[in-house]
A and B are shown apart, each in its own frame.
Chain A
């Protein structure tokens, strides 16, 4: 447990020691603010739903940028060997890095909370839908991060890791379209696997436990695959 936190702490520190954190943070807030402000000014409606949709799309691009360096950089610099020959388990390293990226994401998301304040001050928003929306964000964010982390273990090139992570996330986002194209009913396997179909419920204020379990299983599964991917070096 201590090892996990040691790694989380170190990764978070590294985010803020390099420009990545500041660039990602600033641009995310700018984009989020733009979405929130334009919608509010245009429609005068006290709701975060449209902003949430736009933010999800933004995250599709941003999350792989947060995760891409986590293993790729260590592999390139050779520090993975330094790390893995210390008394830490592979799983502790993976979880530590996951938690670091998740905490970073959590702070990013928390920085949009002033929008809620603004809405409650000047309007009467559906608070239930807002909180379930945030819950959906956290679950989806965890899944995005686990996928990005996995992509990062596959290569020592950060750009490839980023593009790979983004493609995997995007694919799982749009996989539901396949049922439409193939003319299968809307509750097909593709719809079940899609990220997009489930997030809708959360933004409407509905908590479906199947969706929660789905996001958590994707995260758990991807973390497991990530650990295995790190171990692959041992079986070559």
Chain B
């Protein structure tokens, strides 16, 4: 549905995007993940025809985003960053205006607008003036306008930014529902969001794609060995030496030591689960095993690893 090949965008001196390539299949919900300034918004602006690329190619549904920009703009719904809306208008007036621009025929306009209001749960407030709305409602109006004209592709730039937790959950639910029938690209720097709604993640940093995969694959690919946390009653050095000698154990670190209790972090090689071996070794030595738990490397760590923000 969306094909991006070697996309490069230069601003006067800086390169905002360098050779970004990815594909999005029909019906996929793709999360664009990256720190601020990574090039997410620039990519979206190029796809929506607001900015041209410096080089490279991008097509949506086989149409070139630069040459067939007007046609593409009919097929996509776009929510720009910070959800710009006309504050003086009422929700209904605003949506009618956008529907008109989206070339929804006059006789279908009312139906289209009410479908959109209904999807975003705005029916009850449709006559309210936009400037009086809360951030959560504004965001829904932003998504509602993107839905007008029933586009196949939705491009949402930071759809949940600045919302309270309850609103975030509502918007995510809405996006998930929309994802059943539409192809969606959304950008975010919130990692749970990606695991919550996306089929695929594109991690982008300093204008380059650093990873494209499903959230699950990313987690298993980058976790690089399992970590087991244990708390044991016994001598720290003895426990450490004993565990280090076990099969498949890469590293043992003492994290904390208090009154005969010791907390250790045990890293095993590969993806093997060493919990059983560790537990039996401790029991064999007569130490008291107080706690044992497996730590999974979350998307957070992977993200930090990939974007190299963690230089400690």
Contact = CB atoms under 8 A, between A and B. Distances in A.
Interface of A: 2-3, 6-7, 9-10, 13-14, 17-18, 77-89, 233-234, 236
A3 B85 contact: no
Interface residues of B, number: 30
B11 A6 contact: no
Given A6-B97, A78-B84, A85 B89 contact: no
Given A87-B73, A236-B12, 17 more contacts: A3-B101, A6-B100, A7-B101, A10-B89, A13-B89, A77-B86, A78-B81, A78-B82, A79-B86, A81-B45, A81-B50, A82-B85, A82-B145, A85-B80, A87-B70, A87-B74, A87-B102
A96 B97 CA distance: 13
Nearest to B100: A6
Interface in B187-201: none
A17 B103 CA distance: 25
B267 to A, nearest CB: 47
B80 A82 contact: yes
Contacts of A9: 97
A54 B82 CA distance: 45
Contacts of B209: none
Contact of B103 (A14, A81, A87): A87
A83 B74 CA distance: 12
19 contacts: A2-B103, A3-B100, A6-B97, A10-B86, A17-B88, A17-B89, A77-B86, A78-B80, A78-B81, A79-B84, A81-B80, A81-B84, A82-B78, A83-B101, A87-B70, A87-B73, A88-B101, A233-B50, A234-B51
B100 A18 contact: no
Contacts of A236: 11-12
A216 B149 CA distance: 38
